[in-house]
Amino acid sequence: MNKYLILSEEVRAGMAKGLPIVALESTIISHGMPYPQNVAMAREVEQIIRDNGAVPATIAIVAGKIKIGLSDEELEMFGSSKGIAKVSRRDLADVIASQKLGATTVATTMIAAQLAGIKFFVTGGLGGVHRGWEHNLDISADLDELAQTGVAVICAGAKSILDLPATLEYLETKGVPVIGYQTQNLPAFFTRDSGLPLALSSDDLAHIAAMIKIKWELGLNGGIVVANPIPEQDALAPDYINGIIESAVKEAEEKGIKGKDITPFLLGKIVEISGGKSLEANIKLVKNNAKIGATLAVQYFNQQ
Ligand code: PSU
Ligand code: MN
């Protein structure tokens, strides 16, 4: 194991037994949802992963180490403390060197998972190419991480706070498979269908598990996105939520919010304007991803 990693007892025991481990990110807790719903979500998602035969490993930076698996107290701390750093690839070494508390994004959770030998990672939504990239080149480091780091990411697509067509084009250029589970189109987080067709789609987790294995056995490095739409009964009406997203994006532009602050700002605004409706949907979709992600990880490890 890399000297900067510390495994929790649960993760260590799971690995010793040969159980599949499923990584979870901490930025979704510290910067993606308000307290205390964020902590409740984190605990429930971990339990769903256990209930489906895998071992959860929430990842974060604490005291100069990358922790693979957080304690209950640490989940509480990441959910309730102010001033936790949002750590992407660029920031990782600095936050470890300065012994700060750091929350891992999709990109850094993938990096940590790969260092720990974890192949599956469940989250809500990916970062992507931001709207207005023609003028301000904001492309999440998540996308280049998917191009190079061998972890399968189970998510509900990406939010339409992003330029979704550009995000898909970018992933295609980088050769990242985006496979729709029980959908032909890219899911748009709060809604099931962005209207953007995906090249890859399957209704069968055994097929997806086989495809992941073959990709890596061929030496095709890099990640895979398994795009799992929010359950029908939890999805928000497209006109309703897209209107809210438009006003949040407009406000971010007016306030000149940029760089790593923009995604947390937009997520917070959407919760505020929707009076918490978006938060409920967000929690539901993450739980659904946990169930599918753990099941997929189990199927992957049960293959010959
Ligand atoms: N999208 C969400 N919820 C989130 C994030 C994205 O719906 O919490 C977080 C993830 O941690 C993701 C990060 O990796 O935001 C992307 O930030 P940026 O756009 O600055 O790369
Ligand atoms: Mn960015």
For 233-261, what is the mean pLDDT? 95
Structure tokens at 28: 């979704």
CA distance 82 to 79: 9
Q: Closest ligand 1 atom to the C-alpha of 32? A: 8
Q: How many CB atoms lie within 10 A of CB 148?
A: 15
Q: Which of 24, 25, 28 to mutate to test the pocket of ligand 1 (most atoms within 8 A of CB)?
A: 28
Distance 139 CA to ligand 2 centre (A): 5
Tens-digit pLDDT profile for residues 74-108: 999 999 999 999 999 999 999 999 999 999 999 99
CA distance 87 to 35: 19
Distance 60 CA to ligand 1 centre (A): 15
Ligand 1, atom 7, residue with closest C-alpha: 125
Ligand 1, atom 18, residue with closest C-alpha: 140
Q: Closest ligand 1 atom to the C-alpha of 259? A: 20
Distance 265 CA to ligand 1 centre (A): 11
Residues enclosing ligand 1, CB less than 6 A?
A: 25, 27-28, 32, 88, 105-106, 124-125, 127, 140-142, 159, 189, 260, 263, 267
| 69 touches 8 (CB < 8 A) | yes
State which amino acid sits at residue 135: H
Percent above pLDDT 90 for the chain: 98
Tens-digit pLDDT profile for residues 152-191: 999 999 998 999 999 999 999 999 999 999 999 999 999 9
Reported as a pLDDT band with limits 50, 70 and 90, residue 1 is confident
Reported as a pLDDT band with limits 50, 70 and 90, residue 249 is very high
pLDDT at 220: 98
For 55-74, what is the mean pLDDT? 98
HEC profile for the chain? Answer: CCCCEEECHHHHHHHHCCCCEEEECCHHHHCCCCCCHHHHHHHHHHHHHHHCCCEEEEEEEECCEEEECCCHHHHHHHHHCCCCEEECHHHHHHHHHCCCCEEECHHHHHHHHHHHCCCEEECCCCCCEECCCCCCCCECHHHHHHHHCCCEEEECECCCCECHHHHHHHHHHCCCCEEEECCCECCECCECCCCCECCEEECCHHHHHHHHHHHHHCCCCCCEEEECCCCHHHCCCHHHHHHHHHHHHHHHHHHCCCHHHHHHHHHHHHHHHCCCHHHHHHHHHHHHHHHHHHHHHHHHHHCC
pLDDT at 127: 96
CA distance 70 to 251: 35
Tens-digit pLDDT profile for residues 204-244: 999 999 999 999 999 999 999 999 999 999 999 999 999 99
List 98's β-bridge partners, or say none. none
Tens-digit pLDDT profile for residues 112-157: 999 999 999 999 999 999 999 999 999 999 999 999 999 999 999 9
